[in-house]
């Protein structure tokens, strides 16, 4: 029984750690994005709250909580109030399979540095990402506003398009590692990260991830200048903040996912494993911010064409090529 309680306590500590890092990361990613975008546009970005604006996320949080929580007339009340939770929920759930270090030995017990090492980890993540789109579709529908609805329709169309290339781009990695567990995949990259063997898959993954997070150039669902704010237009206060949080958590998660699948996870010289994972995780969000500063928005049909005509067949060819090489090498 003591063993059980100890295990439970360790689990709780791990969950608190992951949640803390992810949520703080998301809050500060907002700041980083605003700062970086600002500097890229010859502005300063937030610099008033605290030194260099470092307390801005706190101020934002307080502001969001104090804002009035509006529910538009004619909205589907229950759905409208429920769905903002879906996106952060699914993303946080996905963090459960992210391993963040090698096994530690505490008091003679092996403690794996992951909340749960599912043997279908990659699929688990993909399924959660496909569920996250409900918050967008239902939120847009429940708002009962034409812009929200258009945003929802676009978002769903986008989701249908990116799912296939996203999933297919990961297949070669699974083939190379011979497992769908993220821990095994990272362990398989101990001497060489998979990006060396699979540069095409990495590019495909980054492009599909770009479509998944719904940020410029693929922010069709919220397109500020055509749809005001698209699916979350009618949301205010904390409910809006949940959508926002979900988006930034998703960015961080995709960063972590890319780091685990392609960049060798926590493996790296000198620095401790956790630090390496954080550094590699940060690559993707910063890339996404840079892309947002640089590229204009695509039209929906261009996005679909990119996904279906280029990414998906390319991913299939990549699988074929990987399989052929693996077969030849035995």
Partner 1 sequence: MDERKGIITSAAEGTRGILEPFWVTLRQLFHKPITEEYPEFKRALPERARGRIVLTRSPDGEERCVACQLCSAVCPVSCISMQSAVREDGRRYAGWFRINFGRCIFCGLCEEACPTLAIQLTNDFEMSADDPMQLVHEKDTLTVDHGGRHPDYDFYRHAGVAVRREPGSHEDEDAPVNPKSNFP
Partner 2 sequence: MSLTQALFYLLAGVITLSTGMAVTRKQPVHAVVYLVVSFFATAVLFALLGAPLVAVLQIMIPAGAVMVLFLFIIILLGREAPKPRDDSAMRWALPGILAIITVAAGLMLIASPQHQTIPLAMAKASARELGTYLYRHYWPAVEGISVLFFVALAGAMFLVREFKPKPDAQNEEPKP
Question: H or E segment at 203?
Answer: helix 199-212
Span 26-45, contacts to partner 2 by CB under 8 A: none
Contact pick of 1, 3, 42, 328 for partner 1 (by CB under 8 A): 42
**β-pair partners for 110:** 105
**What's the CA gap between 321 and 314, in Å, rounded?**
10
Q: Which stretch binds partner 2 (CB under 8 A): 2-10, 101-109, 140-148, 275-283?
A: 140-148
Q: Is 127 near partner 2 (CB under 8 A)?
A: yes
Q: Does 225 bind partner 1 (CB under 8 A)?
A: no
Run of H or E including 222: none
- Helix, strand, coil percentages for the chain (3-state, nearest 5): 70, 0, 25
Among 50, 313, 317, 325, contact with partner 2 (rule: CB under 8 A): 313
Q: How far is the CB of 291 from partner 1 (least distance, A)?
A: 8
Count CA within 13 A, CB hemisphere, residue 189.
Answer: 27
Of 124 and 243, which has the nearer Cβ to partner 2? Answer: 124
Which one of partner 1, partner 2, none is in contact with 144 (Cβ closer than 5 to 8 A by kind)?
Answer: partner 2
Please give the Cα distance from 215 to 37 (Å, whole number).
13
- The smaller minimum CB distance to partner 2, of residues 20 and 178, is found at 178
Rounded to whole angstroms, the Cα distance separating 210 from 166 reads: 10
Q: How far is the CB of 48 from partner 1 (least distance, A)?
A: 9
Site string for partner 2, 166-185 (x = CB under 8 A): -------------xx-----
Instruction: Kindly tell me which residue out of 309, 320, 325, 326 binds partner 2, with binding defined by CB under 8 A.
Output: 309
Among 294, 302, 320, 324, binds partner 1 (CB under 8 A): 294
Which stretches does DSSP call E strand in 50-130? 104-106, 109-111
Residue of the chain from 126, 195, 213, 314 that contacts partner 2 (CB under 8 A): 126
DSSP 256: H
3-class state of residue 39 by DSSP? helix
Q: Which does 295 bind (CB under 5 to 8 A by kind): partner 1, partner 2, none?
A: partner 1
Residues 246 and 239: their CA atoms lie apart, in Å, by 11
d(CA 13, CA 137): 34
Structural contact between residues 210 and 307, judged by C-beta atoms closer than 8 angstroms:
no
Q: How far is the CB of 127 from partner 2 (least distance, A)?
A: 4
Q: Per rule CB under 8 A, is residue 305 in the interface with partner 2? A: yes
44 binds partner 1 (CB under 8 A): yes
Report what 49 binds from partner 2, partner 1, none; CB cut-off 5-8 Å by kind.
none
């Amino acid at each position: 029984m003591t063993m059980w309680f100890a295990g439970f306590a360790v689990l709780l500590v791990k969950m608190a750690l992951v949640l803390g890092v992810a949520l703080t990361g998301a809050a500060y990613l907002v700041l980083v994005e605003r700062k970086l975008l600002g500097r890229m546009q010859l502005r300063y970005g937030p610099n008033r709250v605290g030194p260099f604006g470092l307390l801005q996320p706190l101020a934002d949080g307080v502001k969001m909580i104090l804002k009035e929580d509006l529910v538009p007339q004619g909205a589907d009340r229950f759905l409208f109030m429920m769905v903002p939770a879906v996106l952060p929920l699914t993303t946080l759930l996905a963090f459960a399979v992210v391993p963040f270090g090698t096994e530690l030995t505490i008091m003679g017990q092996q403690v794996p540095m992951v909340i749960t090492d599912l043997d279908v980890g990659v699929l688990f993540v993909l399924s959660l990402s496909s569920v996250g789109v409900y918050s967008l579709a239902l939120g847009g529908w429940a708002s009962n506003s034409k812009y929200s609805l258009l945003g929802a329709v676009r978002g769903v169309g986008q989701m249908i398009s990116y799912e296939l290339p996203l999933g297919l781009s990961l297949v070669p990695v699974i083939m190379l590692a011979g497992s769908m567990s993220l821990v095994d995949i990272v362990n398989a990259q101990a001497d060489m990260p998979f990006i060396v063997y699979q540069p095409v898959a990495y590019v495909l993954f980054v492009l599909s991830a770009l479509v998944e997070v719904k940020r410029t150039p693929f922010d069709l669902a919220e397109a500020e200048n055509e749809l005001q704010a698209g699916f979350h237009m009618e949301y205010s206060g904390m409910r809006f903040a949940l959508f926002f949080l979900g988006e930034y958590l998703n960015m961080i998660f995709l960063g972590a996912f890319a780091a685990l699948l392609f960049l060798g996870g926590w493996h790296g010289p000198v620095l401790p494993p956790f630090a390496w994972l954080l550094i590699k995780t940060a690559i993707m969000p910063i890339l996404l911010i840079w892309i947002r500063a640089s590229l204009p928005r695509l039209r929906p049909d261009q996005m679909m064409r990119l996904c279906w005509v280029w990414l998906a067949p390319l991913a299939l060819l990549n699988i074929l090529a990987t399989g052929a090489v693996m077969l030849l090498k035995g």
